[in-house]
Amino acid sequence: MTKKEKVAFTINTLEKLYPEIPIPLDHKDPYTLLIAVLLSAQSTDVRVNKITPILFARASTPTEMVKLTVEEIRDIIRPVGLSPMKSKGIYGLSKILIEKHQGKVPKDFEALEALPAVGHKTASVVMSQAFGVPAFPVDTHIHRLMYRWGFTNGKNVVQTERDAKRLFPREKWNDLHLQIIWYGREYSPARGWNIEKDIITQTIGRKSVLKAQFK
């Protein structure tokens, strides 16, 4: 198979498996998505989805959030991990949204990445899922699968994102990054991986990956 055929096979397989694509993090608007994505760093979506209803019952807008103290936010979000840093980030970005953006989440990569505790991946998720702007946020699942499928050299997430954007059609990015995440969790996990269930890696996988699996 040529690289082009491998890409087409991947897109078609994912579309068959995931015609309806659920959003992993529960939210109701761009602000609650931004907070949920920030909380998900080095945590799990399941854990975040248990905590956000408690947090959002207290504060689901920047104006409500700055009425809480950093300590109060930290106490609520403690179970997701990294709570000292994340609570400061949530309070700080909420304050900036009020002061600089009329309390609204900006629809702009640069403005998002200028907010405290918001990196490129978080900004990409918000632009993609809240505003429908084509983006390709790379998480651990996407990074792992892009390498397993021979679509990137696995050097770092910056390179993986660059390769994904080069290989996949722009209009597919927003669906594909979610489809790959769900596929990675279900069929191609980091641990407990059964390649016999992983039809994409079986069919197009990097030779060294297949060799290691079928020793």
Q: Is 198 a catalytic residue?
A: no
Per residue in 151-164, pLDDT tens?
Answer: 999 889 999 999 99
Contacts of 209 (CB under 8 A, 6+ apart): 147, 148, 150, 201
Give the CATH number of domain 30-129: 1.10.340.30
Q: Are 55 and 35 in contact (CB under 8 A)?
A: yes
Structural domain boundaries in the chain: 3-21+137-213, 30-129
What fold does the segment set 3-21+137-213 form as a domain?
Answer: Endonuclease Iii, domain 2 (1.10.1670)
Q: Is 139 a catalytic residue?
A: yes
What is the number of alpha carbons within 13 Å of residue 21 lying toward its C-beta? 17
Could you say which of 6, 86, 121, 198 is catalytic?
121
**For a pLDDT cut of 90, what percent of the chain falls above it?**
95
Percentages (nearest 5) of helix, strand, coil residues in the chain? 65, 0, 35
DSSP assigned state of 149: T
Per residue in 26-78, pLDDT tens?
Answer: 999 999 999 999 999 999 999 999 999 999 999 999 999 999 999 999 999 99
Could you say which of 6, 86, 139, 198 is catalytic?
139
Per residue in 173-186, pLDDT tens?
Answer: 999 999 999 999 99
CA 68 – CA 91 distance, rounded (Å): 8
